[in-house]
Structure formats: C-alpha cells, structure tokens
Structure 1
C-alpha cells in the first residue's frame, strides 16, 4: 500500500521549494499517495506559485486575515490542522524551512503522534531574534522532526551538535535549486511565455527593451524581513536613492513586497510618485517565473531574503544581504554572498564595490554554489521510500 505523504506549506518561498518535490512524488504513485495542504499564509502570492507548477491543494486551511499577527497564524494553523490530520491520517507530514506555518503544522502532527520530516533542516544563526521569528521556528521544528533533510554538510553539523541522531539526518542539497533549474528549462523551452513575461513587466512599469538593446547593468532588490521594519528600511531606501543617483547608467529594480511596513518607508524616502526616477523601477510583486527571469539578467542582487542567497549564486549573481547574520554561512564562506546589514554606508559601499571593482565581481560571480546540483528532491524521495517512520 502506498505511504501517505502530506506536505504542508503556506508562503510563496515554501511553495517554490516544495513544488519540485511534490511533482516528483506524484510520479511515484505506486509508492506514495501525495497529499497537499496549504495554509494560505500568503494567499495571493501562494496561488501564483501553485499555478506556475500546476499544483492543486487537497486541503486549504484558508487562515489569511487582514492584520493578523504571529499569534493569529500560529493558533489558526494549529487548530485547523487538527481536523485535517484526523481526516487524512498521513504516515508522515513534511514541512519546509522556518515559517510559522511549518512550526505550527509540525506541532499539530506531533500532538497526533504523526512523524514529521523537515525539509531544509539545520540552518542556524544561533540568535533566536535574528532572523525573527524564523530562527526559533526552525529550532523548534528541528526538535519535533523525525527525519531531517539538510541542504549542506554544515547544516548536518549543526544538527549533530544539537544531539540529533545521525541516522535521521540526510544531506540532500536544497530543493530550491531543483525549482530554479525547472524554471530555467521551462523558460528556455517556451519563447511565447518569455514574450508574455516581457508584456507583464512592461505593464508594471519596466521597459524590458533595456534588457535586450542597451546592455545596461542591473541591481535587483528585494526586502521583507520583520527585523528590518522601521529604521532598517529607511536606511535601505536612502541607500538605494543615492546609489541610483550616483550610477545613472545602472538600472535599479525593486519589486515591492505587499506588507505596508515595507511600502511606507519607500514612499517616505521617494515620495508618492515612484515613477519619476529614470533608472529606478518600483514594481508590484512578481510571480516566481518573472522574478527568476529578471534575476538571470541582473548583475547584482541586493536582498534580505534567505532563499535568494541560494538561488542567485546558482545563476552566477553576487548577493549582498541586508542582514547582520545569516543562517546560510556556506554562501559567505564560498564567496557568493556578503553581509552588508541595513547600515546606509555599508549598503552603498557594497554595491559600489561590485559595480566598480571587476576583479571582486568576477570572484563573487564565479564562486561555486554550495547548495546542490538540482537533485535534492530525488534524494528526499529515496529516503522516504527506504526509511521507517
């Protein structure tokens, strides 16, 4: 009888990283019954990823409410998972990474004595307030999990230091590289889809002819971290404002997160009319395909994201991380990532160095990506097929 594998996720980054695993599990119907459960933590952005990969949910907890906080998310996931787990009765629940969805879903499974598999296990900063709340989330999920799918050997070392049984830890690489390679193949095979992406980007205010005809350099920017709300984002926006004035020959593209705590400082620094800057483009959130497409053209990625620290090096793009700590030290050690925090001077210097120092740029862009070869999903499936749980 096929084993019942339930995957629970709620945010766009989670969906991106579990999508290739779901697609491959669905190809092994003789071994697995794949059950997809979404929480709807990021409702609109989650739907766009599901559509890209052709995924549908067997269960949708629909927890999203205006103005919800971490108390709300945790309680709603925990309570609504109770009935889903009783009905579905999975053999194992797989959760991903460090979101509140992951931790609450893992706890719900634990309460019903259902084993948990943790994808992207073992990432650590060892500071529970940085990133917040993600660092504590992944530590808590790690204590609950029965199977730990670590992306790197260093992640495994962190788990061993926490007395996790070595026989329950499996170094697989990161499934985000699987997703990235899937998207690159899809874009390469679908010229019509690329044309549609160009139209979408133009409708959002970015003239895509700049990518093709002018050969202009590009800095691609993202920001969403809670710990950067307030003065951190003011510093970030001030640095971007002055960098775009210093380098008029460089395009700065900033797809804005929907959170008001991200958008308010943008308007505070740049004013209400964001269209007046000739080399600065504020876009509405991009679907995953569109973002990967832009990332392929970018010269530098400036971000506070976790996953982009893994994705961008896979495309040969140097990454400047607007955080003081990272749970992905492998990227820093390999030379693909530098930490610049949210300090104005550090951000300006980091971007300027990469734009002006060709040798530094070459070192960072040509460093080896430590996060895998695009076969993480296959390794996870083999563990699920052969392990007892």
Structure 2
C-alpha cells in the first residue's frame, strides 16, 4: 500500500491515554521523529492524567492534541464514547496515513474504531496477547480482540503473540514480531542515574540499604474487593515473618483499591506505602527489588529484563512467555500460596537463581525501530525489518 505524498513526511497519528500506553508508545514516537519519510502526531485521551503527563515529560513528548476525557467516577461507557467522539475531529484534522494504538485499553479500542470509521489504516502495537477468557482480564481481553479485528498492521511482541493472531486467521504478511517496546523504554530510563523524586521512596531506599526488598503492585479491576484483600493479608504476614524484609507498595489512587489493600498493612514498620511512583522512580524500585509481586502486565515484562523474579497475582496471563521461560510464576491471590511462594524465593537460593537467571523473552531494545520499519513498509516508503528472535 502506498500513500506517499511528494516532498512530505507522512503523518502517523499515535493515540494513547494511560501511563502504561505512554511508556510503550514513547519509543515509537522518538523513532518516528528520526524517520526520513514518517512523522509522529500525538493525541492523548487523558484516560489517566497525572501519571500520563509524567511519562510524556520523561521522554520529552508534547502532545499535539489532548482530549482530556478524565472525569471523577468515569465509567467504561464514558471513556469509550468521549474518546470516540473526540477522535473524530482529530483524525479529520490530521488526515493520518495510519493511526497507531497500543495494547488493550479502552482508549486503544475506541481509537481503532474511530480510525476504522474514517477508513484510516490501524497499527496495533503489542498485538496478539490473549488469555482466551473474554472476562479475564476485564475489559482488556475484549478490547484487544476487538482492536485486532480493526487492525491492518499487527506489531506482535513475541512469536507466541504472532501465533495467536495466525490462529485467528490474520494474514502472516500483516504481522511483524518486534519485541516489546517496554524494554526499549526501560533501557533508556535505566541507562543513566536519575534523581529520586518521591521523598518517601528516597527514605525507603535509605532504610533498605542491604536488606531484601519485596515490591508489590496490585490494581487490576478483576482483583478488586476480596482478591486484593487476600493479597494484603499475605503481604502483612510476610512483613511479620521476615522483619528484615523491606516491602514497598506504591498504592494505586483508586479508592476501591486502597480501601482493600491498606488496612491490613497498618502499623507494620517494614511496609512502606507511597503514592504511585513516577516512571524513573519505579524503574529504580524495580532495579532495587529482590522479588516482585504484581498483577501488572507491564511489570511482568520489565522485571525479567532486570533479572528480578516475578510472582503474578493472577489466575491467567496474556504474557505466558515469562512463565514458560521460568522468570515469572502465576500464584493467584490465595494468601497462603503467596506467602509460600515469596518465602521460597527468600530462603531457597537455588530456586531464586533459577528464576533470576532465566531468559528474558520480551525484547532487546530495538522493538520501536522494527515497528516503525514495518509501518513504513506497509505505507510503501521502506523495507520490512528482520523480526525479533529472543534466541539470537
């Protein structure tokens, strides 16, 4: 397909709305800025606000459009309709050669649908992740499946993601295995020392010194209520059982999450609760961790690249590559199992080393370049890239 315009760099509209999207799209924006035939145009929906803005600042990205859809008590209905309506005008003004979405957020689905309505080709970054359970994670599994139906260029992070798409009859020539751009972003941020911004986190680092560190994050919608409460009780038991262990919990701002996870942790001296850390601080927290306990998708990818064992607070994951490689393990939210699995890693050196030294299947830092090359090839202004192979 060729949409070349004489003497002009083709605009690629990148749409994102949350912090995880911003982290993974940022390397693509920077790669497009360097491209001779393509140029980025950035539109943010503001599905998240402060955390999204922090990431843009880290990567020196100023959005060209900001829909600012965030509202108190927003629902999936509201996010979808506001993003869809707002993007109608943006797409009309930009007339992009292609529109890129990332992952599985409601912003990603709504933006893909908005592009389809104006017959603009859709590029799906991090395409092909699946759990095969349409309600777990909710609504992410269905968001990414629906986005795939609207996509012209599928940028799959791994061979398994590619195979998922092939099983859904996506033509092979529309898929490029790129690796995951989260590794590109992580390498940029951890390549040089950065000052710590959060004062509580700075104090935590001082207290932790040479002590083991457990990093805990939990926020996913399917974990709300009892599952997060079970996780909190497990963390409290670990804090009491291992007084030398320092536990860091950057607490999600959602009151539903906080009401479930914070009460069991009150009064425990070796548990430090902070506000959500900005991206550079969070990368430092990962680097300093001994074990990570999380239900986050991105953290499942980031921690293995740093050699940190990951225990996943979910029953299923759309990122099974790390589980297969041995660097991550599904533990669910049963408090007794969480305690047992963390204890095993803290006390059994062989078990710890087996996870810490496992192969990282997610990327090599060149995913954004491969993705941009794939877009250029689709638009007829470049050659397709060699695909990512974790075995090379």
Which band: TM-score by shorter chain? over 0.9
Gaps of 5+ in 2: 1-7, 381-392
Structure 1 contact 354–360 (Cα < 8 Å) conserved: yes
How many residues are aligned here? 373
From 6, 18, 23, the counterpart of 1:11: 18
Mapped pair 1:169 → 2:144: no
From 231, 236, 252, the counterpart of 1:241: 236
Structure 1 contact 301–318 (Cα < 8 Å) conserved: yes
From 360, 367, 372, the counterpart of 2:358: 367
Q: Which residue number corresponds to residue 4 of structure 2? A: none
From 201, 206, 215, the counterpart of 2:203: 206
Map residues 156-305 of structure 1 onto 2, 5 A cutoff.
156-187=162-193, 193-194=194-195, 197=196, 200-203=197-200, 206-211=203-208, 214-270=209-265, 274=266, 276-305=267-296
- TM-score, length of structure 2 as denominator length: 0.93
What is the alpha-carbon distance in structure 2 between the residues aligned to residue 141 and residue 99 of structure 1? 10
What secondary structure does 1:26 align onto?
helix
Deviation for aligned residue 1:249: 0.7
Structure 1 contact 236–343 (Cα < 8 Å) conserved: yes
What secondary structure does 2:374 align onto?
helix
What is the alpha-carbon distance in structure 2 between the residues aligned to residue 146 and residue 267 of structure 1? 44
From 316, 319, 323, the counterpart of 1:325: 316
Structure 1 contact 173–373 (Cα < 8 Å) conserved: yes
Gaps of 5+ in 1: 188-192
Q: Cα distance 1:204–1:316, how it changes in 2: closer, same or farther (>3 A)?
A: closer
Larger fraction in helix: 1
What is the alpha-carbon distance in structure 1 between the residues aligned to residue 120 and residue 354 of structure 2? 46
Structure 2 contact 10–97 (Cα < 8 Å) conserved: yes
What is the alpha-carbon distance in structure 1 between the residues aligned to residue 321 and residue 16 of structure 2? 25
What secondary structure does 1:40 align onto?
coil
Deviation for aligned residue 1:266: 2.6
Structure 1 contact 205–283 (Cα < 8 Å) conserved: no
Structure 2 contact 153–378 (Cα < 8 Å) conserved: no
Deviation for aligned residue 1:347: 0.9
Map residues 77-226 of structure 1 onto 2, 5 A cutoff.
77-187=83-193, 193-194=194-195, 197=196, 200-203=197-200, 206-211=203-208, 214-226=209-221
Structure 1 contact 116–144 (Cα < 8 Å) conserved: yes
Q: Cα distance 1:204–1:183, how it changes in 2: closer, same or farther (>3 A)?
A: closer
What secondary structure does 2:72 align onto?
coil
Q: Which residue number corresponds to residue 301 of structure 2? A: 310
What is the alpha-carbon distance in structure 1 between the residues aligned to residue 139 and residue 372 of structure 2? 29
Mapped pair 1:27 → 2:34: yes
- TM-score, length of structure 1 as denominator length: 0.94
What is the alpha-carbon distance in structure 2 between the residues aligned to residue 267 and residue 216 of structure 1? 23
Q: Which residue number corresponds to residue 351 of structure 1? A: 342
